[in-house]
Structure 1
Amino acid sequence: MKSDLLVIIPAYNEEENIENVVSFIQKKYSKYDYIVVNDGSRDHTADICRKKGYELLNLPVNLGLAGAFQAGLKYAYARGYSYAIQFDADGQHRPEFIEPMLERIKEGYDIVIGSRFITTKKGSSLRMIGSKMITVAIKLTTGVRVADPTSGMRMFSKNMIEEFAKNLNYGPEPDTVSYLLKNGAKVSEVPVCMDERQAGESYLNVVNSGKYMLKMLISILLVQNFRKRG
């Protein structure tokens, strides 16, 4: 029986993690449909998915997280899913929080974010300072406080799935959340816990984290004022 929720798992060079992530969802959370979006991985991610018979959308080139997730949303739109959630392939996201996020979005929200910082204070690392600054920037430009704007665990309604599927310049990033808030989207947060990456290394090292935070701030404070909606 088809679920009304699709779990989208973008994966780039996640051969060390993908089997654990998908097999856990299959065994414990089989009520949800899922799709692995292999983002042009250079390792054996796609081979493992094929061998295990996982639901796979295989991209021939690397599009980056935004492009891979948008491809997943196009898949969700084409197949008529009511909800879709971004779920990391590195083992950081915990599927037990999908249900409370689903309950929340069914209350009439467009986007529900799995937030680490509703009841927990942010630390003083460069990434956390950047997250605080993005929270302030979104508040200044939209009037809405988003406690965990950089959380990758985001759930989208049917309307948002269509919005992302039909607009090529949409990536699931804090600046897009800010833009959609300005355009009337209803956003909520649900408290979650996240684990450390199970294996491998994240591309978000200190330098890349700094670049990312700066890019988001510039986009939220300046670029979004000129963005056109499709």
Structure 2
Amino acid sequence: MIRTEKLCKYYSIHSRHEVHAIRDINLNISKNTFVVFNGPSGSGKTTLLNIIGALDRPTEGKVFIYDEEITSFSDIGLSRLRREKIGFIFQNFHLIPRLSSWENVSYPLIPLGISFRERFQMAKLLLEKVGLGDRLDHAPEELSGGQQQRVAIARALVNNPEIIIADEPTSNIDDETSEHLLELLKELQTDGVTILVATHDAGFEKIADEIYKIKNGRLE
């Protein structure tokens, strides 16, 4: 389902020095697999997930999803891919401060032309699923860190994604919310979703199908 070939990402500093974020990454991930990427901060985990998730482009190499080379897609094509197939759970939530919980969850649906009523109902069901059915109208500032992460999780699910990409999803939340997230991701895998997680949390290793160690931008 997801395949990478000799994936590299370089950053130039002051036009003289190159930082190699990832080097020669080759992966072959089957559909409905729970994959964990482990490694120290700065090892390249986030860069790798951003490229697989079509948020960034590699300097060299290719990414295939369902045998389509997404690295050749236009920006519009990458945006469509993210909207239709991928859900993201970020370390820092990335909620819109001026929007309520349900509005944040339903925000990705606006470009699809879905009615206000249907967007509200979809967001309501997902917020109930993550235990926030009584926080529909709360702004992010009125929620705890764990509750904000639950809103972010619900938003990641609103487009019914085939792939979930989670970058350090438990680093800013409490143990109870972390446990709930683990259970929810495992449930999603049971429903056929492919899960990719970058994390230091040992709890994920207990439920992962595949674990990759990354150090200095390379798979070990």
* TM-score calculated relative to the size of structure 2: 0.31
Larger RCO: 1 or 2 (CA < 8 Å, sep 6+): 2
Higher helix proportion (structure 1 or 2): 1
Higher strand proportion (structure 1 or 2): 2
Kindly name which structure, 1 or 2, has the bigger radius of gyration based on alpha carbons. Answer: 2
